[in-house]
Structure formats: structure tokens, C-alpha cells
């Protein structure tokens, strides 16, 4: 074992470092460098996460290094996007003492199979281990093509919505850049030619030249084919997703052949949607792949609404509805055991599922019984999985898993439930347990649960009187240190959580009185400014007023308040 530590200036300031065992074989290699398995360590929280560390080759041109730097800068926490941790620059000395720059890219470690390979029958990961999720997806691809396609496209659109909301377009979406993971996720990867939409800075001008084709010909929108950088936008990605939708349904791309021929056809020919039997799917793909950008879907959200409608209208009755983004697809209706009492259409759909399972499990003479037994086994296994599922979503919506009939709550619905539980002494303990369950997921939406747990620990004035009274026996003493830690955890998950920013500001304002940090009124002002801006953006006017009180007090003590917090006061 040969463990090395990697830490650049940015990582050092954040209390982050990476451990890599260089004696292990690489998990991947390419023209830019090789990828090793590592661990991301957070000194502040003690959290250790598996990571993939790309060691860039020393002789790469500056443009390649900058492209990789840009890829690593796309840091979005979304279950349908690979999470990039950062671009790490390290100075190392050679035998003569001369310093050299070494570059690395860190991201979450994904285990799975590429969608491109799965469609060709591969259901094992890089270590050769069979993946149950991939095997089920391949069964769907073989037996229930529409259901498979809808599931994949919905997940990719969810990831692309987050990417676009953050101001990026991907420009290289295709099945070779989508991973089916062993933990049941569909992940869009490889941000190597991502483009920032709001500005075309110096680095982007250097990396993205007008007239230069980027991406893959079979999925390239006309503006990509022409190298028309100025007009590449969100619809450019939606075109590629439309092409991929066609491929998932038909098994082939619409335009094939030599690269120059494919590029020419992308400019001149419409996608031959007549090859798709479902009328509604034809309309969706035709709109997504319109040659004129203004005729395509205006956003990934609009595209997804159409796909949602398709899943209701075109997927066989009685079979499982595709669940929310990132969740595993189900095999059949949760009432499979009651199939004698469902309609003829649903019974036919269930029979199709059973036949497919029989084929894929290699059943013998008694295929149907064995297939149904397999279904029942999978239902029981799914129950255990669903019991622990939470969606990273602050809406109060609750979705139903179609295989088991069990609810899959959102983080928002559980937090809402916890607030009700906390208002009564008899259920306050359950409320705390509910919040801890959400917090332990480390979602972005977990930040809200952490701030509420922090408020309970410090007996914050932001709590209502009923909650304070109901939890008095559980939190007899104020624990400002624990609250400070919880609020810092919340900010790591969501740096715009204004409740955490506000409470941390009060810690610095109180200083030694709370005994957590030294009194620092400038730091207080800075945190309050950020909290006010975030609360205002969220439309929480009541909290804005609450933040204004300590801001006014600071101003009266002669502390300079940044103008951004007072412009609208």
C-alpha cells in the first residue's frame, strides 16, 4: 500500500484533502491521464467519500488543461449528474529542486455501466460484477422499449434542468456519456465541452472557437455542426436528447454513416419519426429535433412535461409507471397478486412482463410460476429499498412506488411532517428522528432539516412557542456548539440557506457569550448580508425583517454594512 495525499491551495482553505493508494491499478485511462480510486476527506466533519482522481499527464497543452479545469468547475449536486469535487493544482519538486505543476481532477466515484454498453447487453460493472438494476433495465429495453426510453429520458432531463439552471449547457449528450450506476441512478457525465451561457470569457473564447465542430455528429444540433457558438444554448442539448430518445425507441440513431455525411444530414434532413409507432412520441421527438431552435422545446422542463404526458398516455396500462428522477423502475403493477381482478388490458401487460422475465431468467417448463415467484421476490426486496428512500425535493409532494404501493416522500414532506410532530410533547421525539433521517441523506434539501435541528439545540428565537414548549424536556440546555456545527453542515450542502447564515451571524455577534467563536462584528455583518439576500430571493419577507433587526443594531454601533444589504431597505 502506497498512500499519497493530494491537497491544493483551495482544498487547504476548505479543510479538504484526498488520499490515493497508488499501488492499486488505475480504474481508467485515456488521452488526458489516468484515473485512480481515492478518498475525499473533510477535516471539519470527518466525512470520507470515495472519489475518482484523474492524474493529468505532464505534457498536455495549455488548452487541454484549461478544458479540464472548466470541466471540474461544474459543481452541481444533483442525483442525475456526476458530482465534480474540484481541480487540484499541486507543486512538486524534482531531484534538482525545480518546482513543477501537477494537475488533478476529483469527482465522485461512480460504479456502473455506460448506457451505450447496456443497450448492447452489458449488465456488469468495471469489476465484472452483475448489476441487478442494469439487468432489469436491459430487460425493459428488450421487452418494454417505451417504458425504458421514458425512464432514461426523464432522468436525463432532470439532470439537464439542473445543469441549465446553473448556467451551463453540456453539448455532448449521448449514451456513451450516461452511466447506469450500481446504486440505481442514471448519471450524465463528462462536462469536458460544457459552455457557460451567461458570459463568453477569455478562457471560453480560447476553448470554443467559432466555426469549430464540437461533440458527436450523430447527436449534433445544426448550430453545433456549424460551430455557431453564439447561438448554442439550452435547445442545443434538447436536440441531442431528442436524437437519443429516437435511438432508445428504435435501437439506431436517425443518421448514420461517415462523419461528414451525418453532419450534412443533421443540417438538411428531419429525423425520420415515421419509424416510431407511437404518435405522441413522434410529436415529442420532432419538436425536440426541429432544425430551427425557436421551434424546439424552450426548456428541459417543458420537454419533461411532454414526456410525463407520454408516460401517462402511451406506457401500457397496468405496468409500472416510471418513478421520480433517480428512482428505480418497477416491473409491474403493485397489485400483481390480484391480477385476476384487474382489467383485460392490464392483465395482458402483466402477462407480457411475466413472459419477459421468464425469457431473461431462463425458466423451464413452469415458466410463469417461476417468473411470478421472481416478481414476488423482487417486490419484497423493493419494499426494503423504498422504506429508506427520500427524494431530494423541498416540495410537499409524495410519490407512490408502483411496484409496492409504498410512498416515497420528499425531504420537504418529511420536514413538514416533523414540524407538526415537534409541536406536541408526545410526538416531539419522532419529529427529531424524522429530521435526523433527512439530515443523514446529505442532500441539498437536508440543509433545511439541519437548520431546524440546530435551532432546537440552541433554543433559537426563530422557533414558535409551541415547538419550544413541546421540546423543552428534550433540549433542557442550550447547546450553541452543536448548533454551530449543524449550521455549518447545512451551509456545506446549501450555501444559500439563509437560516443557517443568520444563526451563524448571531454566533459571531454574541462571541464569548455563547462560547463558540470569538466576537467578530464584521463577520456578523457579512453573514447577515448573505442571509438577507438569500431570504429576499426566496420571498421570505418575514425572515428578511428578522434579519434587519441585528443589521440595524450593527449599523447603530458604527459597523459598515455592505451596500447590497441596504439598497432595498
CATH code, domain with 535: 1.25.40
Domain count, the chain: 4
Q: Under 8 Å CB-to-CB from 175, ≥6 apart: which residues?
A: 114, 115, 116, 119, 244, 247
Q: Does residue 271 share a domain with residue 344?
A: no
Distance (Å, whole) CA 27 – CA 47: 23
Q: Does residue 332 share a domain with residue 306?
A: no
Among candidate residues 91, 108, 125, the one where a domain is terminated: 108
Q: Does residue 235 share a domain with residue 132?
A: yes
**Global confidence as pTM:** 0.57
| 173, 152 Cβ separation under 8 angstroms | no
- Tell me what pLDDT residue 229 has: 85
Q: Does residue 306 share a domain with residue 274?
A: yes
- Tell me what pLDDT residue 371 has: 61
Q: Does residue 103 share a domain with residue 116?
A: no
The alpha carbon torsion through 316, 320, 326, 328 (nearest 10 deg) reads -130
Does 259 map to a domain? yes
- Tell me what pLDDT residue 565 has: 43
Does 133 map to a domain? yes
Does 120 map to a domain? yes
- Tell me what pLDDT residue 375 has: 65
Does 508 map to a domain? yes
pLDDT per position as a tens digit, 39-60: 999 998 889 999 999 999 888 8
Q: Does residue 348 share a domain with residue 309?
A: no
Q: Which of 282-291, 325-334, 380-389, 442-451 has the lowest mean pLDDT?
A: 325-334
Does 517 map to a domain? yes
pLDDT per position as a tens digit, 326-375: 333 333 333 333 232 223 333 334 444 554 555 555 545 565 566 667 66
- 254 vs 342, higher pLDDT: 254
pLDDT averaged over the chain?
A: 83
Q: Does residue 261 share a domain with residue 213?
A: yes
Q: Which domain holds residue 244?
A: 112-313
Among candidate residues 108, 132, 149, the one where a domain is terminated: 108
Distance (Å, whole) CA 456 – CA 469: 11
Q: Does residue 41 share a domain with residue 98?
A: yes
Q: Does residue 219 share a domain with residue 102?
A: no
Among candidate residues 313, 340, 363, the one where a domain is terminated: 313
Q: Does residue 126 share a domain with residue 24?
A: no
- 131 vs 30, higher pLDDT: 131
Sign of the C-alpha dihedral computed for residues 278, 282, 113 and 333 taken in this order: negative
Q: Does residue 63 share a domain with residue 131?
A: no
- Tell me what pLDDT residue 370 has: 66
Does 403 map to a domain? no
* 433-447: average pLDDT: 91
Does 398 map to a domain? no
Q: Does residue 11 share a domain with residue 134?
A: no
Cβ count within 10 A of residue 120? 10
pLDDT band for position 480 (50/70/90)? very high
The CATH number that applies at residue 288 is 1.10.510.10
Does 446 map to a domain? yes
Angle at 506 between CA 449 and CA 13, to 5 degrees: 75
Amino acid at each position: 500500500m502506497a498512500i499519497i495525499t493530494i491537497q491544493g491551495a483551495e482544498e487547504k482553505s476548505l479543510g479538504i484533502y484526498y488520499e490515493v493508494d497508488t499501488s492499486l491499478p488505475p480504474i481508467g485511462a485515456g488521452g488526458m491521464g489516468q484515473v485512480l480510486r481515492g478518498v475525499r476527506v473533510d477535516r471539519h466533519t470527518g466525512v470520507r467519500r470515495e472519489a475518482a482522481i484523474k492524474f493529468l499527464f505532464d505534457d498536455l497543452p495549455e488548452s487541454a488543461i484549461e478544458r479540464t479545469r472548466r470541466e471540474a468547475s461544474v459543481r452541481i449536486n444533483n442525483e442525475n449528474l456526476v458530482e465534480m469535487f474540484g481541480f487540484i493544482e499541486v507543486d512538486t519538486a524534482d531531484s534538482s529542486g525545480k518546482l513543477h505543476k501537477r494537475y488533478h481532477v476529483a469527482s465522485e466515484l461512480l460504479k456502473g455501466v455506460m448506457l451505450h454498453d447496456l443497450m448492447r447487453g452489458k449488465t456488469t460493472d468495471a469489476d465484472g460484477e452483475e448489476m441487478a438494476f442494469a439487468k432489469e433495465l436491459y430487460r425493459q429495453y428488450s421487452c418494454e422499449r417505451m417504458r425504458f426510453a421514458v425512464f432514461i429520458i426523464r432522468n436525463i432531463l432532470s439532470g439537464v434542468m439542473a445543469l441549465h439552471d446553473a448556467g451551463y449547457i453540456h453539448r455532448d449528450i449521448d449514451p456513451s456519456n450516461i452511466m447506469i450506476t450500481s446504486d440505481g441512478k442514471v448519471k450524465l457525465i463528462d462536462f469536458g465541452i460544457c459552455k457557460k451561457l451567461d458570459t463568453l470569457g477569455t478562457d471560453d473564447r480560447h476553448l470554443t472557437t467559432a466555426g469549430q465542430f464540437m461533440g458527436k455528429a450523430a447527436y449534433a444540433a445544426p448550430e453545433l455542426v456549424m460551430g455557431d457558438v453564439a447561438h448554442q444554448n439550452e435547445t442545443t442539448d434538447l436536440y441531442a436528447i431528442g436524437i437519443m430518445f429516437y435511438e432508445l425507441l428504435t435501437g439506431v440513431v436517425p443518421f448514420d454513416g461517415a462523419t461528414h455525411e451525418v453532419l450534412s444530414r443533421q443540417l438538411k434532413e428531419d429525423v425520420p419519426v415515421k419509424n416510431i409507432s407511437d404518435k405522441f412520441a413522434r410529436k415529442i421527438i420532432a419538436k425536440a429535433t426541429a432544425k430551427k431552435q425557436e421551434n424546439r422545446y424552450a426548456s428541459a422542463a417543458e420537454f419533461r412535461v411532454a414526456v410525463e404526458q407520454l408516460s401517462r398516455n402511451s406506457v401500457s396500462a397496468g405496468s409500472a409507471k416510471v418513478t421520480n428522477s433517480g428512482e428505480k423502475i418497477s416491473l409491474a403493477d403493485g397489485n400483481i397478486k390480484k391480477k385476476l381482478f384487474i382489467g383485460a388490458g392490464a392483465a395482458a401487460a402483466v402477462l407480457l412482463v411475466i413472459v419477459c422475465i421468464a425469457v431473461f431468467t431462463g425458466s423451464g417448463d413452469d415458466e410463469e410460476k417461476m417468473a411470478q415467484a421472481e416478481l414476488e421476490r423482487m417486490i419484497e426486496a423493493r419494499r426494503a429499498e423504498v422504506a429508506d428512500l427520500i427524494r431530494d425535493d423541498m416540495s410537499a409532494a409524495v410519490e407512490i412506488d408502483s411496484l409496492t404501493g409504498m410512498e416515497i416522500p420528499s425531504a420537504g414532506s418529511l420536514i413538514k411532517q416533523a414540524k407538526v410532530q415537534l409541536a406536541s410533547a408526545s410526538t416531539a421525539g419522532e419529529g427529531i428522528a424524522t429530521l435526523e433521517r433527512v439530515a443523514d441523506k446529505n442532500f441539498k434539501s437536508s440543509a433545511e432539516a439541519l437548520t431546524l435541528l440546530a435551532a432546537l439545540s440552541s433554543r433559537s428565537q426563530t422557533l414558535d412557542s409551541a415547538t419550544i414548549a413541546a421540546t423543552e424536556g428534550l433540549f433542557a440546555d442550550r447547546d450553541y456548539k452543536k448548533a454551530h456545527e449543524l449550521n455549518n453542515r447545512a451551509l456545506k450542502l446549501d450555501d444559500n440557506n439563509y437560516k443557517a447564515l443568520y444563526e451563524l451571524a448571531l454566533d459571531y455577534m454574541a462571541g464569548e457569550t455563547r462560547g463558540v467563536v470569538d466576537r467578530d462584528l464584521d463577520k456578523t455583518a457579512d453573514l447577515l448580508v448573505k442571509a438577507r439576500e438569500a431570504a429576499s430571493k426566496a420571498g421570505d419577507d418575514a425572515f428578511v425583517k428578522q434579519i434587519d433587526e441585528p443589521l440595524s443594531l450593527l449599523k447603530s454601533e458604527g459597523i459598515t454594512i455592505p451596500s447590497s444589504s441596504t439598497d432595498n431597505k
